[in-house]
């Protein structure tokens, strides 16, 4: 994509591989609020999932950002990737002010049938990469005190989804630690649990069941999560720090 000129508000959003995904919704909302967006995607992950890869998704998402986007293909299972992402984001847009992590490895499996390889891959992507991204952000942050933001998306799903739920729990602790350990930089760090959001992975049966468990009788949308991220990244969101926020419409 063509390089853009940063206005001083640069957000790095990971896991933006599908036009209907939460990451894409967040990227579009932040771009509408004046942020320049570096966003990552990893096509091989989508190719092995039931929904499959979406051809030209990265380009389509870039066009929806009104010239404010810089796409970076990135395998977050590789320990060298986080530093490379920041190098590329800084080269194309400038120093990263907000780090929003929507990436994930998510393959359903239980206590008895999870493989070692799957368990390790979940923790490499969901926990280790999160730590490395946060660490890279902390080492490089050069913004004005009070403007820095770290946000991660989590899940409380565990039964039948062991490696995903366990690795997301580790993500929570990493980001919440950053709220204190990076406080000297003037950075706030929060975790969002968006609840059930239908981005194409639900069957009709799952969709109906989850809808019944939400008071408003609907599922979450990427835009619901994007509005909260947009607020947290704004000056008005500075005071919210070190929190695990449930943005799930009352889902229970």
Alpha-carbon gap, residue 102 to 112, rounded angstroms: 28
Q: Judging by beta carbons within 10 Å of its beta carbon (0-12, 13-18, 19+), is residue 31 exposed, middle or buried?
A: buried
Strand positions, DSSP E, the chain:
10-14, 36-41, 69-73, 98-101, 148-153, 187-193, 244-246
Unique residue bearing structure tokens 């509005």: 227
Sign of CA dihedral 167, 248, 73, 143: negative
Burial label for 117, CB within 10 Å (0-12, 13-18, 19+), is exposed
CB-based contact 216:242 (threshold 8 Å): no
Q: Which of 41, 45, 137, 164 is catalytic?
A: 164
Element (H, E) at 25: helix 22-32
What span, in angstroms and rounded, lies between the C-alpha atoms of 133 and 151?
A: 11
| Catalytic residue list contains 41 | no
Q: How far is CA 20 from CA 27, 72, 89, 215, 223, in A?
A: 11, 18, 23, 24, 10
Are 233 and 11 contacting, i.e. CB atoms less than 8 angstroms apart?
A: yes
Q: Residue 12: beta bridge partners?
A: 38, 99
Which residues are part of the catalytic machinery? 164
């Amino acid at each position: 994509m063509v390089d853009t000129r940063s206005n001083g508000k640069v957000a790095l959003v990971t896991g933006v591989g599908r036009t209907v995904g939460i990451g894409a919704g967040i990227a579009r909302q932040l771009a509408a609020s004046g942020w320049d967006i570096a966003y990552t995607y990893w096509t091989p992950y989508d190719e092995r999932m039931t929904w499959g890869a979406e051809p030209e998704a990265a380009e389509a998402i870039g066009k929806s950002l009104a010239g404010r986007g810089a796409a970076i293909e990135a395998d977050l299972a590789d320990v060298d990737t986080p530093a490379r992402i920041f190098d590329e984001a800084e080269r194309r847009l400038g120093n990263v002010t907000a780090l929003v992590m929507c990436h994930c490895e998510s393959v359903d499996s239980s206590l008895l049938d999870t493989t070692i390889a799957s368990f390790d891959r979940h923790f490499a992507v969901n926990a280790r990469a999160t730590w490395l991204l946060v660490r890279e952000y902390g080492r490089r942050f050069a913004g004005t005190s009070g403007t820095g933001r770290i946000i991660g998306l989590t899940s409380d799903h565990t039964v039948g989804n062991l490696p995903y739920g366990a690795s997301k729990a580790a993500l929570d602790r990493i980001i919440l630690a950053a709220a204190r350990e990076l406080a000297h930089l003037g950075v706030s760090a929060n975790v969002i649990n968006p609840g059930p959001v239908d981005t194409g992975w639900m069957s009709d049966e799952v969709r109906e069941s989850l809808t019944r468990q939400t008071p408003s009788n609907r599922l979450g949308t990427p835009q619901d999560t994007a509005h909260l991220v947009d607020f947290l990244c704004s000056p008005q969101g500075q005071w919210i720090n070190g929190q695990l926020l449930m943005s799930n419409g009352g889902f229970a």
